[in-house]
């Protein structure tokens, strides 16, 4: 009977193997994503305890240069080594660096009397966005891959606007960039999760890097908005 069933369904083995690969990539991505939160938190703590966040606040222009060079450099190295164990170590080093860069914003928020609550609220909001996007990505039949080109252009414009505002110092532009960033990276998260779930991404290190960047930017910009509108100096 087994031989007869295999003969009548010649593609069943390939389909089962493909599904198993998709499930393994998705599972490993979620595990590595959870692990990446540890060096992120450690990086933020190092930035706060060593005073690096204060140095970054005093030299915002230099901080942007360090951030862009460090982030893109590490991302390049992660992608170059995504097929070996060094890729995992580089990814964790990248998330530590991102935590270090985040310490400037975290230090500013902790200057509010309700700073800890705002950080937890931003974390909870990011988790809600992740849950919503994961649910849509896993249930909808609509293909969102065509969004990627437009979202990438949006990210480039956000970077340009953020760098320009270091010199312009326009409060309204900060709000605009943060709101747009949350929307753009939420949509990017949906696209990335759907690609992973549907088997478009077969490397869990690359998958983790993409999802981590989406969540990082959602959290940072949500925290920025909460600090602006909900920060209490008293």
CA distance 66 to 62: 6
What's the burial of 189, exposed, middle or buried (CB within 10 Å: 0-12/13-18/19+)? buried
Sequence-separated (6 or more) residues with CB below 8 Å from residue 210? 188, 192, 201
Residue 6 lies in a domain: no
Residue 5 lies in a domain: no
CA distance 187 to 195: 12
Residue 2 lies in a domain: no
State how many domains the chain has: 1
Q: How many CA atoms lie within 13 A of 216 on its CB side?
A: 25
Q: Is the pLDDT of residue 116 over 70?
A: yes
Residue 90 lies in a domain: yes
Residue 7 lies in a domain: no
pTM: 0.89
Residue 175 lies in a domain: yes
Q: Is the pLDDT of residue 208 over 80?
A: yes
Its domain, for residue 206, covers 13-230
pLDDT number for residue 165: 84
Q: Which one has a higher pLDDT value, 26 or 96? A: 96
pLDDT number for residue 147: 92
CB 62 within 8 A of CB 113: no
């Amino acid at each position: 009977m087994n031989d007869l069933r295999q003969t009548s369904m010649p593609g069943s083995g390939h389909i089962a193997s493909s599904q198993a690969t998709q499930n393994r990539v998705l599972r490993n991505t979620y595990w590595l994503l959870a692990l990446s939160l540890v060096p992120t938190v450690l990086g933020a703590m190092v930035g706060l305890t060593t005073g690096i966040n204060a140095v970054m606040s005093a030299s915002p222009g230099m901080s942007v240069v360090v951030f862009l060079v460090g982030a893109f450099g590490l991302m390049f190295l992660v992608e170059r080594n995504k097929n070996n164990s060094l890729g995992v170590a580089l990814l964790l080093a990248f998330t530590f660096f991102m935590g270090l860069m985040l310490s400037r914003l975290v230090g500013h928020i902790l200057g509010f009397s309700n700073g800890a609550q705002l950080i937890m609220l931003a974390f909870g909001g990011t988790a809600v966005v992740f849950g919503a996007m994961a649910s849509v990505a896993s249930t909808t039949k609509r293909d969102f891959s065509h969004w990627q080109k437009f979202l990438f252009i949006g990210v480039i414009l956000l970077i340009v606007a953020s760098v320009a505002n270091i010199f312009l110092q326009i409060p309204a532009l900060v709000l605009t960039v943060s709101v747009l960033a949350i929307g753009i990276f939420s949509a990017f998260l949906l696209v990335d999760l759907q690609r992973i779930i549907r088997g478009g991404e077969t490397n869990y290190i690359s998958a983790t890097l993409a999802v981590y960047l989406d969540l990082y930017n959602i959290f940072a910009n949500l925290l920025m908005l909460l600090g602006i509108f909900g920060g209490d100096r008293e």
